[in-house]
Amino acid sequence: MQTFKDFKVICILDDCTDKTENIINTYNNRLNIEISKGNWHRPGLTRNRGIDLVKTEWLCFIDGDDWLTSNTAIEDVITKINALPKEIEALRVLNSASYDCPKFFYR
């Protein structure tokens, strides 16, 4: 479990016909999860659906072939973001190799 607790997991199921939703639901008692189902059939449209559902200042894409390698990954990224100069107001993209999280974006 992540040490940073103030986050929501948004799972986008794009024309999903397997038991993915059942597996996701087993984590409902430990995580704040929202599931969105649709038939977008294109990664860009699926990702845009996720962006539409985000209500926070920051979002992080973690695709099916990504994973967080430590329990402090989100907390570590937030700490590094908060240490950045305040003059940086444009889109901030943090490199996964440096920050232990696949793709973090400022909204």
pLDDT string in tens for the chain (107-residue length): 889 888 899 999 998 889 999 999 999 999 999 999 999 888 888 888 988 998 887 788 888 788 888 899 889 888 887 787 766 644 444 443 444 444 555 54
Contact call for residues 33 and 62 (beta carbons, < 8 A)? no
Residue 4 CA, chain-centre distance (Å), reads 13
State the pTM of this model: 0.73
Helix (H, G, I), strand (E, B) or coil at 60: strand
Q: List b or e across 47-64, with b for residues whose CB sees 16 or more CB atoms inside 10 angstroms.
A: bebeeeeeeeeebbeeee
Residue with tokens 């040490």: 3
Q: What are the structure tokens assigned to 101, written together?
A: 């999280």
